[in-house]
Amino acid sequence: MSTHSATSSFLRSRLFSFGSNTSPSLQQPSAYTALDRAAHPDDTILGAPRRSGSPAHLHARNPHRQEYGALASSQSLSSCATQVNEKDEPSPDPRLFSHRRRDRFRAKSVYYVKYYLPILTWLPNYSFKAALAGDIIAGLTVASFNIPLSLSYARTLIGVPERYGLLGFAFPQLVYAFMGTVPVMITGPEPAISVMIGQAISPMVMAGNPSFEERERRAIMYNGLITSLFAIIYLVMGFLRLGFVDSLLSQGLLRGFITAVGIILTFDTLIQALGLSALAAAQNVGAGSGGVKLAFILTNLKNTHGLTAAIAFISFGLIMFFRISRKYYGKRFPILVYIPDIFLIVIFSIIMSWKLDWYGKGADIVGAVERPDIQLMSPLNSDTFPRVTEVASSAFVIALLGFFQSAAIAKNIFPDPPTDSRVAPPKNPTISMNRELVALGTANLLGMFMFSLPVIGGFGRSKANKFAGARTQLSSIIFAFSTIIVTFTLLPSIYYLPRATLASVLGLICVGLLEDFPSDVIGYFKMHAWGDFSIVMIMIAVTLGISLQIGISVGIVISLVQILRHATRTRIQVLARVPGTTDTFRNADIPSYDVPDEALDSLEHLHNVLLVKITEPLTFANCGELQNRLRRLERYGTMRMHPSLPAMRRGDQNVVFDLEGMTACDTSAIKVLLSIVEAYRSKGKFVLFARIPATKKMMLLFKRSGLSVLLSYNGHPPAYFTSIHEALEALDECIFETPGTWTPEDEDREIEAMPDEEPEQIEEDSIATDIEGSTSGDETIDEKTHLKREMV
């Protein structure tokens, strides 16, 4: 009986009290508040304290140190939060914590409105001294060269009248200024997206060799349908909080997409610049692939119209001259930044075309552009709805790529803060991809009723907006009103504008899309990034050989396959002990900072024990290969051996799983673990778990699934250990060979003694929610709840 009691006492101390430290200095109570203690719970298994003890004593070692803004031991986080709250942030509406549901709803509604209308956040704090001049200059500067571009996008790339391109820059931009979270982003039609739309609708527009009027009518209808689908896709994605999908595509795919679009756009621009547009329309070249367009250009160089080509290339040369001058002399002569070169070239070409009668000499001009007659009507009706299926797949891919481009702008273009804090710009809301989707969807929803071109964020114009001095969305409002004025008052003045000039402006866009390609390719070679380089070349080849849509689709499929392959791979490591240590283990397959490649063979592989580390959460997606990889480790003791080779080790080892990285586990993964443990138990071997994340949720999952019972050997508590070394000690001391008195009720008591987890962290772009722990009636509110309310 005494032997049994001694064994039980030993196991209890071994399995549930490892690392207890009775040092007097560590037993002193910490100066942490309740919230501080909740933020640093004891990381234990079934309530067992770790050997390292609580981190509180580390905080109290030198209470007078203030490095990196640390608090003195006498100052709690709650007081710090109160000071910051009083100094920088207004106090939250007290109705958020009311016991009445109606009061909480009314208070939250204000935050919801501000959440989706960020203008209510930055406009009341607008600093005229800091931002007004820069916003006005930037808005007018961007309008000066984007208004001519919109004419090119509409007629040249999609085949709709020019006014629909102008409408895409006008009213939808006002919507984004009210709802967008990126201060300097300018939305509107984009050349890459316009090229793809033109390619997508060209077969339907040109079917049956229709007249010019019929082609234009079809183009307007299909363009309106695609704009409608853009609005629906973005709004659905935004309200379903799918903004994270912007991270799904690799840099190689984005580079291939941009390069492929640049190549197609270059061919379209050359056709117009050489005066071959009418011939290309007669031969239906617009619906062909990039290779077809290149062959058309090469075979028809003899038919080039001399005057048209001269206008286009001279205008392009002047634009490039100003661009290079700004690049190299902009800092020395800041006035160069504000010269509206494209606007001036457009005005000069209109005057020259009128004076010299270029139209009479064969040069194509814009001609009469009708003033928009805005009649808000939906493209989706009983007559057009059956045709939605003809463009649905293309619209989805194009909308997705348009969002990727907008997301890249949101992540990479910000207004730089001024050096003088006294002229700081007004406060802007946090940039959120979900709210960006809602903003873009609403902008396209308005554009849909005007049949405007689809609207996304533009990298080039947003960058120019920033460089011109924009600080807030007011520059977008200035830009939108400038476009509205031109659209409704100045359209007759562009009657004599040569289309060759518009082609030269598109040439600048082509340069912008292709100029980074050589440096990116060189970077791929330097980094040996053959996968990304292959994706780029495949997209270019498929685009030139088949079509732009097929090229983009192939690139997206390759990217998704890479993501799925990465997500479904079980990342496990085989561990070995560093020589001369007892509790230091390293990956035996990959060198580390303290174990170089040549020292991997010196690591100690333990006899009859396989040490396996799972480095990530186990889910249904990545647990499928766990058994196969574990079997491979049993045969070879390493993942570097090909499975075709003969076995190097016996397959009857005990297994110790290091689960420090397995922070989550779903039911599919639990079933896999159950089958693994059952297989080892059937062979008379032990499976031990070390460094399990000490959360009540995880332990309850293990208990309810029956895993804890399977890991309980000979009446002992489940084989959960706080370190690998302790698990190995249990095997060495053969503690499982003696009978124990553990019961599942003992585990229930240990789990109940574990602290509850902290509430889930609120997402970055979510707004105020109900505060956990609110009370009603005369119930008292504990310190933790008070502190949470102070720190909202």
Strands 572-577 and 585-587, sheet pairing: antiparallel
Please state which of the ranges 74-88, 176-190, 370-384 shows the lowest mean pLDDT: 74-88
Q: What mean pLDDT do residues 32-39 have?
A: 36
Give the pLDDT confidence of 254-301 residue by residue, as tens digits.
Answer: 788 778 878 888 888 899 899 898 888 788 787 677 888 889 999 999
- Residue 277 and residue 502: Cα distance in Å, rounded? 13
Report the CATH fold assignment for 568-753. Transcription Regulator spoIIAA (3.30.750)
Name which of 182, 206, 129, 764 is nearest 431 in CA terms.
182
Please state which of the ranges 56-65, 546-555, 583-592 shows the lowest mean pLDDT: 56-65
Are 146 and 479 in contact by the 8 Å Cβ rule? The answer is yes
- Residue 37 and residue 199: Cα distance in Å, rounded? 61
Give the pLDDT confidence of 42-58 residue by residue, as tens digits.
Answer: 443 443 333 333 333 33
* Predicted local confidence at residue 687, as pLDDT: 92
- Residue 723 and residue 510: Cα distance in Å, rounded? 59
Residues carrying CATH 3.30.750.24, the chain: 568-753
Give the pLDDT confidence of 724-778 residue by residue, as tens digits.
Answer: 989 998 888 888 888 888 887 777 777 777 766 554 444 544 443 333 333 334 4
Asked whether residue 398 carries a pLDDT value surpassing 70, the answer given is yes
- Residue 494 and residue 716: Cα distance in Å, rounded? 89
Asked whether residue 791 carries a pLDDT value surpassing 50, the answer given is no
704-709 long-range Cβ contacts below 8 angstroms, 24+ apart:
705/667, 705/670, 705/671, 705/674, 706/674, 707/670, 707/673, 707/674, 707/677, 708/744, 708/747, 709/744
* Predicted local confidence at residue 54, as pLDDT: 35
777-786 long-range Cβ contacts below 8 angstroms, 24+ apart:
782/34, 783/33, 783/34, 783/35, 784/34, 784/35, 784/38, 786/78
Please state which of the ranges 312-326, 506-520, 629-643, 655-669 shows the lowest mean pLDDT: 629-643
Provide the pLDDT confidence category of residue 177 given band limits of 50, 70 and 90. Answer: very high
Are 179 and 244 in contact by the 8 Å Cβ rule? The answer is no
| Sequence-separated (6 or more) residues with CB below 8 Å from residue 355 | none
pTM for this model (two decimals): 0.66
Q: What is the DSSP letter of 714?
A: T
Which of residues 326 and 725 earns the better pLDDT score?
Answer: 725
Residue with tokens 């962290």: 761
Provide the pLDDT confidence category of residue 40 given band limits of 50, 70 and 90. Answer: very low
Give the pLDDT confidence of 598-627 residue by residue, as tens digits.
Answer: 677 778 888 788 899 988 888 887 787 787
Are 722 and 19 in contact by the 8 Å Cβ rule? The answer is yes
Give the pLDDT confidence of 704-735 residue by residue, as tens digits.
Answer: 888 988 898 888 888 899 899 899 988 888 88
What's the mean pLDDT when you consider all of the chain?
77
Provide the pLDDT confidence category of residue 781 given band limits of 50, 70 and 90. Answer: very low
* Predicted local confidence at residue 69, as pLDDT: 38
- Residue 305 and residue 270: Cα distance in Å, rounded? 12
Tokens linked to 147: 């208004």
- Residue 553 and residue 199: Cα distance in Å, rounded? 14
* Predicted local confidence at residue 352, as pLDDT: 93
Which of residues 148 and 786 earns the better pLDDT score?
Answer: 148
* Predicted local confidence at residue 454, as pLDDT: 94
* Predicted local confidence at residue 91, as pLDDT: 66
Tokens linked to 9: 């006492």
In whole angstroms, what separates CA 667 from the centre of its chain? 28
Q: What mean pLDDT do residues 90-102 have?
A: 76
Tokens linked to 648: 């190097």
Between the two ends of the chain, the Cα-to-Cα distance in Å is: 58
Region for 596 from its dihedrals, namely left if φ exceeds 0, alpha if ψ lies in -120 to 50, beta otherwise: beta
| Sequence-separated (6 or more) residues with CB below 8 Å from residue 272 | 156, 312, 499, 500, 502, 503, 506
The number of helix segments (H) and strand segments (E) in the chain equals 32, 8
* Predicted local confidence at residue 413, as pLDDT: 65
SS (H, E, C) 107-147: HHHHHHHHHHCCHHHHCCCCCHHHHHHHHHHHHHHHHHHHH
Work out whether the CA dihedral 480, 485, 488, 493 comes out positive or negative. negative
